[in-house]
Structure 1
Amino acid sequence: MSRGISQSDQPIERSGDGTDLFSKFDDIIALREGLLASGQEDPFSLVMEKVLSPTRAICNGRETILLGTYNYMGMTFDPDVIEAGKQALTDFGSGTTGSRVLNGTYQGHKECEDALREFYGMDHAMVFSTGYQANLGIISTIAGKGDYIILDIDSHASIWDGCAMGNAEVVPFKHNDIEAMEKRLKRIPEGAGKLVILEGVYSMLGDVAPLKEMVAIAKRHGAMVLVDEAHSMGFIGENGRGVVEQAGVMDDVDFIIGTFSKSVGTVGGFCVSNHPKFEIMRLVCRPYVFTASLPPSVVATAATSIRKLMHGSNKRAHLWENSKTLHKGLKDLGFALGTDEPQSAIIAVIMPDLEQGAAMWEALIKGGLYVNLARPPATPANMTLLRCSLCAEHSESEVAQILSIFEAAGKQVGII
């Protein structure tokens, strides 16, 4: 969604050939202005004036329950995590002012990668400045011109951008369709480099990939496998290692991509791998080589959080209970949901259209509940969704309150 673009009495300055380079955004500008014409709050410009806890904040002047932050394990206010960040800030300063291959590798970066290797039980770990850059860097570096990438059509934008940057041949298949994936693999020329890209949990509907079957097929056809576990790390699997652990395929995947901005509770991205040549990536991966490294306070909080997630079984159990309770409650109220059963910490509530979705979002925020309004083209099948992201720190009473706010808003807007 474009932000900060408003109507003006001044004429638009155009480039030399008379073409306005912003004209391609006219439809989305009109859509946004249409939504705001009635005085409705902008769902894409929410301001949090103060964050009170992992589950509550002051938003637009109101105390609000947070149900759209990806803070799955509630680590943002963990006392040990905060203390680690404060100490690193004192000891190492506010930033590195350099890339990892120059002056930007501090002791904290190595400790963070050590924590990741221990968490996943893998030989190699590489930390990026964002999760987006992890996908962009790894995918574009290992799959280039003449190689083939076979990926789920609903893959995250960072995955698609990594494919484009590497200039590989991209072969998409229908979402979570095992048969369609195998058909695509059979058409790849003999001897060509092949990379299958999957996600553990897909962020829009919160549904889980059939990794056991898909990874087996990929390996049978000689493809390497990359799995993005951004929305499952810390929560899914006996040790929180994601859907790859739950499906029993950790030893079969070549790369696991993840982020620190979800369950870990800070910012950054990573890739772990057992490939014997993986360390060369530090010299050939452009988004790693040419980006300033994460600040010392960030990698200190990440490392502390990751090590605590290794022992987060109680939190994981509580988060599953929250997910089951909210999914059943919303279903019983009559809302249409993205999955028949809860599969992750994401529960997507399907709206009839964007206008009613925006009205529902506004009714929720005024009732004291923040969720994500997701709209086409970011959503599958042109759906408008209210995307709910549960947290392990949500109490039973907060989940009950969430359901009460949804019921009142749904009746007010006429959704239920």
Structure 2
Amino acid sequence: MSLFHKFAPLRAAYDRLESAKSNPFNVAFDRVLSPTEARIGDREILLLGTNNYLGLTYDPAVIARAVEATEMFGTGTTGSRIANGSYDGHKRLERALADFYGRKHAMVFSTGYQANVGVLSALAGKNDHLLLDADCHASIYDGSRLGHAQVTRFRHNDPDDLANRLRRLGDTPGDKIVVVEGIYSMLGDAAPLREFAAVKREWGAYLVVDEAHSLGVLGQTGRGLAEAEAVEADVDFIVGTFSKSLGGVGGFCVGDMEGFDILRVVSRPYMFTASLPPSVIAAALEALHQLRTRPILRERLMDNARQFYYGLADLGFNLGPEPNPVVSAIMPDPETAFAFWSRLLDAGLYTNVSLPPATPKGLALLRSSVGAAHTPDQIDHALSLFAEVGRAMGLIAPARAEVRAAG
């Protein structure tokens, strides 16, 4: 018997996608032309599923800084931050992040996933309690497992349920650490952070906010939901990633708490992972500068997000609760989601399929992510393709002109 026998049901489902030519896991772009366009074979594809929120992957200054760093420092550090992997660029990026957030401390991880795993596994020990929003990202749940803390889930975006669970833990020994996200990656909904902050204060808990999808999106200066909701003083730690608005790869954590730097020697994902290459660090530094000095990028991003969200709503698609750069159309089932995705790709539009267990409530989602680099015409084109496929599959009503003609 194969070691992989336990995955037989998943393998069968995967093979069915292959035979139907609707497997989103096998898409390979032959060339990426811009933040919004790519080529597959001889076809140009409009990209609407990349999380490239500010469109900085092709920014000339960002690319130039990455090239300069590669020429000066080489292609990699070949070691962890603790061993030989801390360069001047890592320190400068950490100072820049701390300054951006108005915090005393910052540390950089090799991925956003590792930032959550590394921070949460270190903050919460086996006698502590992590209280996680039910819809938190897999990296948050994985971090809770690595740290052996007692884990309590509360209902998604429900401050009353969080308060009830903290009340039940009232006299239980150990620290209580609440973890929520700024914008949730599947349905694009934001947390009621003011209410969560009030519950945190009432019960003497700590609060960690993952701003992965809200950095560069929300807040007057782009710091995220905590800034937008004016509760930054109540947030003990902010975790984020460079792979969304900053257009690269890597993660970070910022905070004010005394003793913060001990995380560098108690966080195993930080200690035992090679540090980010100089080119990636330099690109992230420049992308952060672009975020701070070009607020027009956030304005364009949200204009595009609203155009796409309300356009899909007008067509009759069932969507997440609010317009943000993550816009998900809820499909009846996984098979329909795959078929819809495949037809869109055939028509020249790339989106994402998201399925349980990654999605809340077992939903099958056709997930799009809008960016600042999209033009209004590109958004309109995407909407026209959604309309065409949706009507062809019977998921939305026929166009009004067609209804009149039929009558």
TM-score bucket of the superposed structures, by smaller chain: over 0.9
1:396: how far off?
0.8
Q: Which residue number in structure 1 is paired with residue 388 of structure 2? A: 408
Q: How far apart, in 1, do the equivalents of 2:221 and 2:41 lie?
A: 38
SS in 1 for 2:395: coil
SS in 2 for 1:44: helix
1:35: how far off?
2.7
Q: Which residue number in structure 1 is paired with residue 126 of structure 2? A: 145
Q: How far apart, in 2, do the equivalents of 1:59 and 1:346 lie?
A: 24
- Which aligned pairs between 1:13-412 and structure 2 lie closer than 5 A? 14=1, 20-38=2-20, 40-190=21-171, 191-339=173-321, 341-342=322-323, 344-412=324-392
Are the aligned partners of 1:130 and 1:259 in contact in 2 as well (CA < 8 Å)? yes
Q: How far apart, in 1, do the equivalents of 2:357 and 2:3 lie?
A: 20
1:189: how far off?
4.5
> For residue 158 of structure 1, what is the amino acid of its counterpart?
S
1:413: how far off?
2.2
- Aligned sequence identity (%): 49
* 1:182-238 superposed Cα distances (whole Å, 9 cap, x missing partner): 111111152421100010011000000000110110121111110000000011111
**Number of equivalences:** 395
1:115: how far off?
1.4
1:134: how far off?
0.4
* 1:331-361 superposed Cα distances (whole Å, 9 cap, x missing partner): 111111122x31x211110111111111100
Q: How far apart, in 2, do the equivalents of 1:26 and 1:241 lie?
A: 44
Q: How far apart, in 2, do the equivalents of 1:218 and 1:389 lie?
A: 31
SS in 1 for 2:174: coil
Q: TM-score w.r.t. structure 2 length?
A: 0.95
> For residue 391 of structure 2, what is the amino acid of its counterpart?
K
**CA RMSD, 1 decimal:** 1.1
Q: How far apart, in 1, do the equivalents of 2:12 and 2:159 lie?
A: 39
Are the aligned partners of 2:180 and 2:209 in contact in 1 as well (CA < 8 Å)? yes
Q: Which residue number in structure 2 is paired with residue 6 of structure 1? A: none
SS in 1 for 2:135: coil
Q: How far apart, in 2, do the equivalents of 1:131 and 1:97 lie?
A: 19
Structure 1 unpaired stretches of 5+: 1-13, 15-19
> For residue 247 of structure 1, what is the amino acid of its counterpart?
E
SS in 1 for 2:103: coil
SS in 2 for 1:356: helix
Q: How far apart, in 2, do the equivalents of 1:247 and 1:59 lie?
A: 42
Choose between structure 1 and 2: higher helix proportion. Answer: 2
> For residue 108 of structure 2, what is the amino acid of its counterpart?
V
> For residue 368 of structure 1, what is the amino acid of its counterpart?
G
SS in 2 for 1:241: coil
Are the aligned partners of 2:110 and 2:274 in contact in 1 as well (CA < 8 Å)? yes
Q: How far apart, in 2, do the equivalents of 1:377 and 1:404 lie?
A: 30
1:307: how far off?
1.4
> For residue 363 of structure 2, what is the amino acid of its counterpart?
M
> For residue 139 of structure 2, what is the amino acid of its counterpart?
S
Q: How far apart, in 1, do the equivalents of 2:361 and 2:262 lie?
A: 39
Q: How far apart, in 2, do the equivalents of 1:390 and 1:59 lie?
A: 20
* 1:252-295 superposed Cα distances (whole Å, 9 cap, x missing partner): 11100000000000000000001111011111111111111000
In structure 2, the CA distance between the partners of 1:215 and 1:59, relative to structure 1 (3 Å rule), is farther
Q: How far apart, in 2, do the equivalents of 1:347 and 1:380 lie?
A: 14
Between 1:164-173 and 1:372-381, the stretch displaced more is 372-381
> For residue 164 of structure 1, what is the amino acid of its counterpart?
R
